[in-house]
Amino acid sequence: MGIGIKELLVILVIVIVVFGTKKLRNIGTDLGGAIKNFRSAVKEGEADGKPDEKEADTLEGEVTSKTNEKD
């Protein structure tokens, strides 16, 4: 059993009625841009091959915390 074509069409019609075609187009454009930016950031990270200096300092550094103790 599972979701067939008829069920998918019903869901698509409901989504179009709720959001409208203009809103769906904007959502698709925003989602596509986000995916494109994510992929380019991943490629830049792979091209570097090593962590940034800030990241290396953070990973190698000691974590300390101060707590306010009331006597």
What's the average model confidence in pLDDT over 3-28? Answer: 90
Residue 69 has a pLDDT of 56
Q: What is the mean pLDDT of the chain?
A: 79
**pTM for the full model?**
0.46
Residue 26 has a pLDDT of 92
**List of residues 6+ apart from 16 with CB closer than 8 A:** 24
Bigger pLDDT: 17 vs 49:
17
For residue 62, give the DSSP letter.
P
Bigger pLDDT: 65 vs 26:
26
